[in-house]
Amino acid sequence: MEEKLSFEYAPAPESRALVTIKPKYGHFIGGKFVAGSKHFPTINPATEEVLSQISLAGKADVDAAVKAARKAYTTTWSKMSGKERGKYLFRIARIMQERSREFAVLETLDNGKPIRESRDVDVPLAAAHFFYHAGWADKLEYAGLGTTPKAHGVAGQIIPWNFPLLMLAWKVAPALAAGNTVVLKPAETTSLTALLFAEVCHQAELPAGVVNIVTGDGSTGALIVNHPGIDKIAFTGSTEVGKIIARAVATTNKSVTLELGGKAANIIFEDAAIDESVEGIVNGIFFNQGHVCCAGSRLILQESIADEVIEKLKNRMAKIRVGDPMDKNTDLGAINSKEQLLKIRELTAAGDSEGAERWSAPCDLPGKGFWFAPTIFTGVTQAHRIAREEIFGPVLSVLTFRTPQEAIDKANNTPFGLSAGIWSEKGSKVLWASQQLRAGVIWANTFNKFDPTSPFGGYKESGWGREGGRHGLSAYLKGVSHE
Ligand code: ADP
Protein backbone atom coordinates (compact mmCIF):
# COMPACT_ATOMS: atom_id res chain seq x y z
CA MET A 1 0.00 0.00 0.00
CA GLU A 2 2.79 2.42 0.82
CA GLU A 3 3.97 2.88 -2.73
CA LYS A 4 7.26 4.75 -2.98
CA LEU A 5 7.40 7.84 -5.15
CA SER A 6 9.11 6.99 -8.39
CA PHE A 7 11.00 10.28 -8.35
CA GLU A 8 12.11 12.85 -5.81
CA TYR A 9 11.80 16.60 -6.06
CA ALA A 10 15.04 18.56 -6.07
CA PRO A 11 15.10 21.14 -3.24
CA ALA A 12 13.70 24.53 -4.31
CA PRO A 13 14.32 26.83 -1.35
CA GLU A 14 12.97 30.37 -1.34
CA SER A 15 15.66 32.97 -0.65
CA ARG A 16 15.99 34.10 2.90
CA ALA A 17 17.93 37.14 1.69
CA LEU A 18 14.59 38.70 0.72
CA VAL A 19 14.10 39.85 4.30
CA THR A 20 16.10 41.87 6.76
CA ILE A 21 15.36 40.84 10.32
CA LYS A 22 16.53 43.30 12.95
CA PRO A 23 18.22 41.81 16.01
CA LYS A 24 15.69 43.57 18.25
CA TYR A 25 12.25 45.17 17.80
CA GLY A 26 10.25 47.71 19.76
CA HIS A 27 6.56 48.70 19.45
CA PHE A 28 4.83 50.83 16.82
CA ILE A 29 3.06 53.61 18.70
CA GLY A 30 1.80 56.95 17.40
CA GLY A 31 3.37 56.35 13.97
CA LYS A 32 6.85 55.69 15.38
CA PHE A 33 8.89 52.67 16.34
CA VAL A 34 9.63 53.02 20.04
CA ALA A 35 12.03 50.91 22.05
CA GLY A 36 10.65 48.36 24.47
CA SER A 37 12.11 47.69 27.91
CA LYS A 38 11.88 43.90 28.30
CA HIS A 39 12.50 41.42 25.48
CA PHE A 40 11.92 37.77 24.64
CA PRO A 41 13.21 35.72 21.69
CA THR A 42 11.20 34.70 18.65
CA ILE A 43 12.45 31.55 16.99
CA ASN A 44 12.15 29.71 13.71
CA PRO A 45 10.20 26.60 14.76
CA ALA A 46 11.67 24.57 11.88
CA THR A 47 15.25 25.02 13.15
CA GLU A 48 14.99 26.55 16.66
CA GLU A 49 17.22 29.40 15.44
CA VAL A 50 16.60 32.65 17.32
CA LEU A 51 15.37 35.13 14.71
CA SER A 52 15.08 38.26 16.83
CA GLN A 53 14.25 39.74 20.21
CA ILE A 54 10.66 40.96 20.60
CA SER A 55 9.51 43.53 23.14
CA LEU A 56 7.16 42.58 25.91
CA ALA A 57 4.74 45.49 26.33
CA GLY A 58 3.81 46.44 29.86
CA LYS A 59 1.25 48.87 31.24
CA ALA A 60 3.11 52.02 30.16
CA ASP A 61 3.43 50.79 26.55
CA VAL A 62 -0.24 49.78 26.32
CA ASP A 63 -1.28 53.11 27.88
CA ALA A 64 0.83 54.97 25.31
CA ALA A 65 -0.65 52.96 22.44
CA VAL A 66 -4.25 53.52 23.61
CA LYS A 67 -3.54 57.22 24.09
CA ALA A 68 -2.10 57.49 20.56
CA ALA A 69 -5.07 55.59 19.12
CA ARG A 70 -7.55 57.85 20.95
CA LYS A 71 -5.79 61.00 19.78
CA ALA A 72 -5.74 59.76 16.18
CA TYR A 73 -9.42 58.87 16.44
CA THR A 74 -10.60 62.22 17.78
CA THR A 75 -8.29 64.52 15.82
CA THR A 76 -7.94 62.77 12.46
CA TRP A 77 -9.59 59.48 11.63
CA SER A 78 -13.15 60.22 12.83
CA LYS A 79 -13.09 63.53 10.96
CA MET A 80 -11.87 62.08 7.69
CA SER A 81 -14.36 61.15 4.96
CA GLY A 82 -14.88 57.48 4.17
CA LYS A 83 -13.49 58.13 0.71
CA GLU A 84 -10.20 59.36 2.19
CA ARG A 85 -9.99 56.44 4.62
CA GLY A 86 -10.57 54.10 1.70
CA LYS A 87 -7.59 55.57 -0.14
CA TYR A 88 -5.30 54.61 2.73
CA LEU A 89 -6.68 51.08 2.76
CA PHE A 90 -6.12 50.74 -0.98
CA ARG A 91 -2.60 52.03 -0.52
CA ILE A 92 -1.86 49.52 2.25
CA ALA A 93 -3.26 46.69 0.09
CA ARG A 94 -1.07 47.66 -2.86
CA ILE A 95 2.07 47.91 -0.72
CA MET A 96 1.32 44.50 0.79
CA GLN A 97 1.16 43.09 -2.72
CA GLU A 98 4.39 44.82 -3.70
CA ARG A 99 6.13 43.45 -0.63
CA SER A 100 4.38 40.06 -0.75
CA ARG A 101 7.56 38.00 -1.05
CA GLU A 102 9.02 39.65 2.03
CA PHE A 103 5.82 38.98 3.96
CA ALA A 104 5.71 35.34 2.82
CA VAL A 105 9.33 34.63 3.75
CA LEU A 106 9.01 36.30 7.13
CA GLU A 107 5.77 34.44 7.89
CA THR A 108 7.31 31.11 7.00
CA LEU A 109 10.46 31.73 9.03
CA ASP A 110 8.56 32.83 12.12
CA ASN A 111 5.55 30.48 11.92
CA GLY A 112 6.92 27.30 10.32
CA LYS A 113 4.24 27.04 7.64
CA PRO A 114 5.28 26.08 4.09
CA ILE A 115 6.29 29.00 1.89
CA ARG A 116 3.78 27.79 -0.69
CA GLU A 117 0.97 28.50 1.77
CA SER A 118 2.23 31.83 3.03
CA ARG A 119 2.93 32.92 -0.56
CA ASP A 120 -0.28 31.61 -2.17
CA VAL A 121 -2.81 31.82 0.66
CA ASP A 122 -1.92 34.01 3.64
CA VAL A 123 -0.42 37.04 1.93
CA PRO A 124 -2.76 37.33 -1.10
CA LEU A 125 -5.79 36.86 1.16
CA ALA A 126 -4.47 39.48 3.60
CA ALA A 127 -4.12 42.01 0.74
CA ALA A 128 -7.58 40.99 -0.53
CA HIS A 129 -9.06 41.89 2.86
CA PHE A 130 -7.67 45.40 2.61
CA PHE A 131 -8.89 45.80 -0.99
CA TYR A 132 -12.34 44.53 -0.06
CA HIS A 133 -12.71 46.78 2.98
CA ALA A 134 -11.27 49.77 1.13
CA GLY A 135 -14.36 49.49 -1.05
CA TRP A 136 -16.67 49.66 1.98
CA ALA A 137 -15.10 52.75 3.60
CA ASP A 138 -17.12 55.28 1.55
CA LYS A 139 -20.30 53.16 1.33
CA LEU A 140 -21.13 52.56 4.98
CA GLU A 141 -24.33 54.64 4.70
CA TYR A 142 -25.56 52.35 1.92
CA ALA A 143 -24.69 49.01 3.52
CA GLY A 144 -28.04 48.53 5.24
CA LEU A 145 -26.33 49.10 8.60
CA GLY A 146 -28.33 52.21 9.57
CA THR A 147 -28.34 55.67 7.99
CA THR A 148 -25.53 57.16 10.05
CA PRO A 149 -23.24 54.30 11.03
CA LYS A 150 -20.69 55.32 13.64
CA ALA A 151 -17.41 53.72 14.63
CA HIS A 152 -16.82 52.47 18.18
CA GLY A 153 -13.62 54.50 18.61
CA VAL A 154 -10.52 52.57 19.69
CA ALA A 155 -10.45 48.85 18.91
CA GLY A 156 -8.17 46.48 20.87
CA GLN A 157 -7.30 43.46 18.78
CA ILE A 158 -5.57 40.27 19.89
CA ILE A 159 -4.61 37.60 17.39
CA PRO A 160 -3.11 34.08 17.39
CA TRP A 161 -0.11 32.50 15.70
CA ASN A 162 -1.74 30.24 13.11
CA PHE A 163 -2.32 32.90 10.41
CA PRO A 164 -0.43 35.89 11.81
CA LEU A 165 -0.69 38.33 8.90
CA LEU A 166 -4.08 37.12 7.72
CA MET A 167 -5.63 37.44 11.18
CA LEU A 168 -4.16 40.94 11.39
CA ALA A 169 -5.83 41.80 8.07
CA TRP A 170 -9.16 40.30 9.21
CA LYS A 171 -9.03 42.61 12.21
CA VAL A 172 -7.37 45.83 11.02
CA ALA A 173 -9.03 46.22 7.60
CA PRO A 174 -12.70 46.30 8.76
CA ALA A 175 -11.79 48.36 11.85
CA LEU A 176 -10.19 51.11 9.75
CA ALA A 177 -12.85 50.96 7.02
CA ALA A 178 -15.54 51.54 9.66
CA GLY A 179 -13.58 54.47 11.09
CA ASN A 180 -11.99 52.99 14.23
CA THR A 181 -8.38 53.29 15.26
CA VAL A 182 -6.51 50.24 16.47
CA VAL A 183 -4.19 48.80 19.11
CA LEU A 184 -3.19 45.33 17.93
CA LYS A 185 -1.17 42.63 19.66
CA PRO A 186 0.20 39.71 17.63
CA ALA A 187 0.84 36.33 19.26
CA GLU A 188 4.12 36.04 21.17
CA THR A 189 5.59 33.42 18.80
CA THR A 190 4.72 35.27 15.57
CA SER A 191 5.23 39.03 15.83
CA LEU A 192 7.47 39.62 12.81
CA THR A 193 4.88 40.10 10.04
CA ALA A 194 2.86 42.46 12.27
CA LEU A 195 6.02 44.52 12.72
CA LEU A 196 6.58 44.53 8.95
CA PHE A 197 2.96 45.60 8.59
CA ALA A 198 3.77 48.56 10.88
CA GLU A 199 6.43 49.55 8.34
CA VAL A 200 3.79 49.34 5.61
CA CYS A 201 1.52 51.70 7.58
CA HIS A 202 4.43 54.10 7.80
CA GLN A 203 5.18 53.73 4.10
CA ALA A 204 1.49 54.33 3.26
CA GLU A 205 1.68 57.54 5.33
CA LEU A 206 -1.24 56.41 7.42
CA PRO A 207 -1.87 59.21 9.96
CA ALA A 208 0.10 58.60 13.16
CA GLY A 209 -1.73 56.57 15.81
CA VAL A 210 -4.41 55.07 13.53
CA VAL A 211 -2.67 51.69 13.80
CA ASN A 212 -0.56 50.88 16.88
CA ILE A 213 1.17 47.56 17.32
CA VAL A 214 2.35 46.36 20.71
CA THR A 215 4.01 42.98 21.09
CA GLY A 216 3.96 40.70 24.09
CA ASP A 217 2.30 37.68 25.65
CA GLY A 218 -0.99 37.02 27.42
CA SER A 219 -0.17 39.62 30.08
CA THR A 220 -0.05 42.31 27.36
CA GLY A 221 -3.29 40.93 25.90
CA ALA A 222 -4.95 41.21 29.33
CA LEU A 223 -3.80 44.84 29.64
CA ILE A 224 -5.53 45.61 26.33
CA VAL A 225 -8.72 43.74 27.28
CA ASN A 226 -8.98 45.54 30.62
CA HIS A 227 -7.96 49.00 29.41
CA PRO A 228 -10.67 51.58 30.11
CA GLY A 229 -9.70 53.58 27.01
CA ILE A 230 -10.69 50.80 24.63
CA ASP A 231 -14.20 50.63 23.17
CA LYS A 232 -14.18 47.36 21.32
CA ILE A 233 -12.32 44.08 21.71
CA ALA A 234 -11.77 41.65 18.85
CA PHE A 235 -10.06 38.39 19.76
CA THR A 236 -9.08 35.23 17.92
CA GLY A 237 -7.56 32.41 19.93
CA SER A 238 -8.37 29.62 22.33
CA THR A 239 -11.81 29.09 23.85
CA GLU A 240 -10.15 29.17 27.28
CA VAL A 241 -8.81 32.72 26.81
CA GLY A 242 -12.02 33.72 24.99
CA LYS A 243 -13.97 32.87 28.15
CA ILE A 244 -11.60 34.97 30.30
CA ILE A 245 -12.12 37.89 27.90
CA ALA A 246 -15.90 37.46 27.84
CA ARG A 247 -15.93 37.61 31.66
CA ALA A 248 -13.61 40.62 31.74
CA VAL A 249 -15.74 42.73 29.38
CA ALA A 250 -19.11 41.56 30.73
CA THR A 251 -19.36 44.40 33.23
CA THR A 252 -18.10 47.11 30.87
CA ASN A 253 -19.48 49.00 27.86
CA LYS A 254 -16.98 47.32 25.56
CA SER A 255 -18.31 45.63 22.50
CA VAL A 256 -16.69 42.25 21.77
CA THR A 257 -16.21 39.67 19.03
CA LEU A 258 -14.57 36.32 19.72
CA GLU A 259 -13.37 33.76 17.20
CA LEU A 260 -12.42 30.66 19.16
CA GLY A 261 -11.78 26.96 18.78
CA GLY A 262 -13.31 24.32 16.58
CA LYS A 263 -13.62 20.59 16.04
CA ALA A 264 -14.99 20.52 12.52
CA ALA A 265 -16.69 17.47 11.09
CA ASN A 266 -15.95 16.54 7.51
CA ILE A 267 -18.79 14.21 6.48
CA ILE A 268 -18.29 11.90 3.52
CA PHE A 269 -21.49 10.28 2.23
CA GLU A 270 -21.29 7.06 0.21
CA ASP A 271 -22.33 8.86 -2.98
CA ALA A 272 -19.41 11.31 -2.80
CA ALA A 273 -16.67 11.47 -5.44
CA ILE A 274 -14.10 9.48 -3.46
CA ASP A 275 -10.83 10.77 -4.93
CA GLU A 276 -11.92 14.40 -4.65
CA SER A 277 -13.08 13.75 -1.08
CA VAL A 278 -9.67 12.29 -0.18
CA GLU A 279 -8.00 15.46 -1.50
CA GLY A 280 -10.51 17.52 0.48
CA ILE A 281 -9.86 15.57 3.68
CA VAL A 282 -6.09 16.06 3.26
CA ASN A 283 -6.56 19.78 2.63
CA GLY A 284 -9.02 20.02 5.51
CA ILE A 285 -6.68 18.70 8.20
CA PHE A 286 -3.11 18.86 6.93
CA PHE A 287 -3.30 22.41 5.52
CA ASN A 288 -1.08 24.60 7.72
CA GLN A 289 -0.11 21.59 9.93
CA GLY A 290 -3.73 21.44 11.13
CA HIS A 291 -3.12 24.80 12.85
CA VAL A 292 -6.51 26.00 11.64
CA CYS A 293 -9.41 26.55 14.03
CA CYS A 294 -11.81 25.41 11.30
CA ALA A 295 -9.66 22.35 10.41
CA GLY A 296 -11.64 19.26 9.41
CA SER A 297 -10.25 17.30 12.35
CA ARG A 298 -13.14 14.80 12.65
CA LEU A 299 -13.69 12.69 9.58
CA ILE A 300 -17.21 11.24 9.64
CA LEU A 301 -17.34 8.46 7.06
CA GLN A 302 -20.28 6.42 5.83
CA GLU A 303 -19.55 2.82 6.84
CA SER A 304 -20.02 1.37 3.34
CA ILE A 305 -17.08 3.38 1.94
CA ALA A 306 -14.95 3.61 5.09
CA ASP A 307 -12.33 0.98 4.18
CA GLU A 308 -11.84 2.34 0.67
CA VAL A 309 -11.51 5.96 1.82
CA ILE A 310 -9.10 5.11 4.64
CA GLU A 311 -6.87 3.12 2.34
CA LYS A 312 -6.78 5.88 -0.27
CA LEU A 313 -6.22 8.44 2.46
CA LYS A 314 -3.22 6.58 3.90
CA ASN A 315 -1.78 6.28 0.40
CA ARG A 316 -2.18 10.00 -0.14
CA MET A 317 -0.80 10.84 3.32
CA ALA A 318 2.32 8.81 2.57
CA LYS A 319 3.02 11.22 -0.28
CA ILE A 320 2.73 14.42 1.76
CA ARG A 321 6.12 16.10 1.69
CA VAL A 322 7.09 17.08 5.23
CA GLY A 323 10.16 19.22 5.85
CA ASP A 324 11.87 22.56 5.28
CA PRO A 325 9.05 25.15 5.16
CA MET A 326 11.19 27.41 2.95
CA ASP A 327 11.27 24.72 0.25
CA LYS A 328 8.62 25.45 -2.40
CA ASN A 329 7.86 21.71 -2.67
CA THR A 330 6.98 21.28 0.99
CA ASP A 331 3.37 20.40 1.85
CA LEU A 332 3.62 20.21 5.63
CA GLY A 333 5.93 22.40 7.69
CA ALA A 334 6.87 22.71 11.35
CA ILE A 335 4.61 22.86 14.39
CA ASN A 336 4.65 26.47 15.57
CA SER A 337 6.10 25.96 19.05
CA LYS A 338 7.33 23.40 21.52
CA GLU A 339 4.25 24.03 23.71
CA GLN A 340 1.96 23.25 20.79
CA LEU A 341 3.93 20.10 19.94
CA LEU A 342 3.60 18.94 23.54
CA LYS A 343 -0.17 19.52 23.43
CA ILE A 344 -0.43 17.44 20.24
CA ARG A 345 1.67 14.68 21.79
CA GLU A 346 -0.43 14.68 24.95
CA LEU A 347 -3.75 14.41 23.10
CA THR A 348 -2.52 11.76 20.66
CA ALA A 349 -1.19 9.71 23.60
CA ALA A 350 -4.70 9.92 25.06
CA GLY A 351 -5.96 8.55 21.72
CA ASP A 352 -3.67 5.53 22.14
CA SER A 353 -4.57 4.90 25.75
CA GLU A 354 -8.31 5.25 25.11
CA GLY A 355 -8.11 2.52 22.48
CA ALA A 356 -8.09 4.26 19.09
CA GLU A 357 -5.71 2.96 16.43
CA ARG A 358 -2.92 5.33 15.32
CA TRP A 359 -1.33 5.39 11.87
CA SER A 360 1.33 7.96 10.93
CA ALA A 361 2.69 8.60 7.45
CA PRO A 362 6.20 7.21 7.10
CA CYS A 363 8.42 10.28 6.78
CA ASP A 364 11.82 11.42 8.01
CA LEU A 365 11.30 14.27 10.42
CA PRO A 366 14.13 16.80 10.76
CA GLY A 367 16.26 16.41 13.90
CA LYS A 368 15.89 20.02 15.04
CA GLY A 369 12.72 22.01 15.37
CA PHE A 370 9.16 20.95 16.19
CA TRP A 371 7.64 18.30 13.96
CA PHE A 372 4.72 15.93 13.90
CA ALA A 373 4.03 13.42 11.12
CA PRO A 374 0.59 13.43 9.47
CA THR A 375 -1.45 11.05 11.62
CA ILE A 376 -4.83 9.37 11.47
CA PHE A 377 -6.74 7.61 14.25
CA THR A 378 -9.33 4.99 13.34
CA GLY A 379 -11.71 3.20 15.70
CA VAL A 380 -12.47 6.52 17.41
CA THR A 381 -15.64 6.85 19.48
CA GLN A 382 -17.45 10.02 20.42
CA ALA A 383 -16.28 9.67 24.01
CA HIS A 384 -12.57 9.77 23.11
CA ARG A 385 -10.72 12.98 23.89
CA ILE A 386 -9.34 13.05 20.33
CA ALA A 387 -12.95 13.28 19.10
CA ARG A 388 -13.92 16.04 21.53
CA GLU A 389 -10.92 18.29 22.12
CA GLU A 390 -9.20 20.56 19.64
CA ILE A 391 -5.79 19.06 18.80
CA PHE A 392 -4.58 21.90 16.54
CA GLY A 393 -2.14 19.68 14.69
CA PRO A 394 -1.96 17.33 11.68
CA VAL A 395 -4.09 14.67 13.35
CA LEU A 396 -7.34 13.28 12.00
CA SER A 397 -9.87 11.28 14.04
CA VAL A 398 -12.16 8.97 12.05
CA LEU A 399 -15.70 8.08 13.10
CA THR A 400 -18.23 6.18 11.00
CA PHE A 401 -22.00 6.32 10.47
CA ARG A 402 -24.77 4.29 8.82
CA THR A 403 -27.60 6.79 8.27
CA PRO A 404 -27.45 10.49 7.32
CA GLN A 405 -29.15 11.41 10.59
CA GLU A 406 -26.43 9.57 12.54
CA ALA A 407 -23.80 11.59 10.66
CA ILE A 408 -25.49 14.85 11.64
CA ASP A 409 -25.91 13.78 15.27
CA LYS A 410 -22.23 12.86 15.52
CA ALA A 411 -21.12 16.04 13.75
CA ASN A 412 -23.18 18.22 16.10
CA ASN A 413 -22.08 16.34 19.21
CA THR A 414 -19.40 18.88 20.13
CA PRO A 415 -19.19 22.02 22.25
CA PHE A 416 -17.84 23.82 19.15
CA GLY A 417 -19.50 24.90 15.91
CA LEU A 418 -17.10 26.79 13.69
CA SER A 419 -17.15 24.88 10.42
CA ALA A 420 -18.11 21.62 8.73
CA GLY A 421 -17.72 19.90 5.39
CA ILE A 422 -20.18 17.78 3.41
CA TRP A 423 -19.20 15.53 0.53
CA SER A 424 -21.98 14.15 -1.65
CA GLU A 425 -22.88 14.22 -5.34
CA LYS A 426 -26.54 14.69 -4.40
CA GLY A 427 -27.53 18.35 -4.09
CA SER A 428 -30.63 17.72 -1.99
CA LYS A 429 -28.55 15.77 0.57
CA VAL A 430 -25.99 18.59 0.74
CA LEU A 431 -28.74 21.16 1.34
CA TRP A 432 -30.48 18.98 3.93
CA ALA A 433 -27.24 18.31 5.81
CA SER A 434 -26.13 21.94 5.71
CA GLN A 435 -29.41 22.97 7.35
CA GLN A 436 -28.97 20.42 10.15
CA LEU A 437 -25.35 21.22 10.98
CA ARG A 438 -24.72 23.72 13.77
CA ALA A 439 -21.63 25.35 12.34
CA GLY A 440 -20.92 28.90 11.16
CA VAL A 441 -19.23 27.93 7.89
CA ILE A 442 -20.21 24.88 5.87
CA TRP A 443 -18.27 23.78 2.83
CA ALA A 444 -19.82 21.43 0.28
CA ASN A 445 -17.50 19.29 -1.84
CA THR A 446 -14.57 21.48 -0.86
CA PHE A 447 -12.84 22.57 2.37
CA ASN A 448 -10.86 25.49 3.80
CA LYS A 449 -11.91 28.06 1.23
CA PHE A 450 -11.81 31.66 2.41
CA ASP A 451 -12.95 34.92 0.89
CA PRO A 452 -13.13 38.45 2.32
CA THR A 453 -16.75 38.80 1.21
CA SER A 454 -17.91 35.79 3.19
CA PRO A 455 -18.67 36.04 6.93
CA PHE A 456 -16.72 33.62 9.14
CA GLY A 457 -17.47 32.70 12.74
CA GLY A 458 -18.95 30.11 15.03
CA TYR A 459 -21.79 28.74 17.10
CA LYS A 460 -21.57 27.67 20.75
CA GLU A 461 -18.00 27.67 22.18
CA SER A 462 -16.55 28.65 18.81
CA GLY A 463 -17.29 32.28 19.46
CA TRP A 464 -19.43 35.39 19.14
CA GLY A 465 -19.95 37.42 16.01
CA ARG A 466 -18.68 37.18 12.48
CA GLU A 467 -15.61 38.43 10.63
CA GLY A 468 -15.54 39.19 6.92
CA GLY A 469 -18.28 40.40 4.62
CA ARG A 470 -20.91 42.95 5.60
CA HIS A 471 -21.55 41.04 8.83
CA GLY A 472 -17.93 41.42 9.92
CA LEU A 473 -17.95 45.10 9.07
CA SER A 474 -21.03 45.70 11.20
CA ALA A 475 -19.15 44.47 14.28
CA TYR A 476 -16.98 47.61 14.02
CA LEU A 477 -19.99 49.95 14.00
CA LYS A 478 -21.99 51.08 17.02
CA GLY A 479 -25.41 49.68 17.68
CA VAL A 480 -25.45 47.30 14.74
CA SER A 481 -26.15 43.64 15.42
CA HIS A 482 -23.29 41.60 14.08
CA GLU A 483 -25.00 38.21 14.07
P1 ADP B 1 -3.43 29.60 21.34
O2 ADP B 1 -3.85 28.45 22.19
O3 ADP B 1 -3.90 29.55 19.94
O4 ADP B 1 -2.00 30.01 21.51
P5 ADP B 1 -4.27 31.74 23.04
O6 ADP B 1 -5.70 32.00 23.29
O7 ADP B 1 -3.42 31.25 24.16
O8 ADP B 1 -4.30 30.78 21.81
O9 ADP B 1 -3.55 33.00 22.41
C10 ADP B 1 -4.13 33.83 21.44
C11 ADP B 1 -3.75 35.26 21.70
O12 ADP B 1 -4.29 35.67 22.98
C13 ADP B 1 -2.25 35.50 21.79
O14 ADP B 1 -1.95 36.75 21.19
C15 ADP B 1 -2.00 35.54 23.29
O16 ADP B 1 -0.86 36.30 23.65
C17 ADP B 1 -3.26 36.21 23.79
N18 ADP B 1 -3.62 35.94 25.18
C19 ADP B 1 -3.26 34.87 25.96
N20 ADP B 1 -3.79 34.97 27.18
C21 ADP B 1 -4.51 36.14 27.22
C22 ADP B 1 -5.32 36.81 28.20
N23 ADP B 1 -5.52 36.32 29.41
N24 ADP B 1 -5.92 37.98 27.84
C25 ADP B 1 -5.76 38.48 26.61
N26 ADP B 1 -5.02 37.91 25.65
C27 ADP B 1 -4.40 36.74 25.93
Are 185 and 151 in a shared domain? yes
- Nearest alpha carbon to residue 267 among 291, 296, 240, 247: 296
CA distance 238 to 216: 17
Which pLDDT score, from 0 to 100, does residue 98 have?
Answer: 98
Looking at residue 27, its amino acid is: H
Domain assignment of residue 271, given as a range: 265-452
Domain count across the chain: 2
For helices 274-286 and 303-317, angle between their N-to-C axes, nearest 10 degrees: 60
User: Are residues 182 and 244 both part of a single domain?
Assistant: yes
Strand 375-378 relative to strand 395-401, pairing: parallel
pTM for this prediction: 0.96
Q: How many residues does the chain have?
A: 483
Whether residue 256 is found in the same domain as residue 294: no
Given the CA of residue 162, which atom of ligand 1 is nearest to it?
A: 3
Q: Report pLDDT for 464.
A: 87
> Facing residues of 264 across strands?
none
405 and 473, same domain (yes or no): no
Give the Cα separation of 13 and 168 in Å (integer): 27
How far, in Å, CA of 248 to CA of 239, rounded?
Answer: 14
* Same domain? 237 vs 166: yes
pLDDT in tens, 388-440: 999 999 999 999 999 999 999 999 999 999 999 999 999 999 999 999 999 99
pLDDT of residue 191: 98
Exposed / middle / buried, residue 83 (Cβ in 10 Å: 0-12, 13-18, 19+)? exposed
Q: Judge residue 34's burial from the number of C-beta atoms within 10 Å of its C-beta, 0-12 exposed, 13-18 middle, 19 or more buried.
A: middle
Q: Going by C-beta distance under 8 Å and a sequence separation of 6 or more, which residues neighbour residue 353?
A: none
222 touches ligand 1 (CB under 6 Å): yes
The verdict on 226 and 344 lying in the same domain is: no
| 3 — pLDDT class (breaks 50, 70, 90) | low
b/e map of 151-188 (b: 16 or more CB within 10 Å)? bbbbbbbbbbbbbbbbbbbbbbbbbbbbbbbbbbbbbb
295 and 208 share one domain: no
State whether 333 and 419 are in the same domain.
Answer: yes
Query: Which residue of the set 14, 107, 117, 259 is catalytic?
Result: 259
Residue 7 lies in a domain: no
| C-alpha Rg value of the chain to the nearest Å | 22
Test site for ligand 1: of 167, 241, 462, most ligand atoms within 8 A of the Cβ: 241
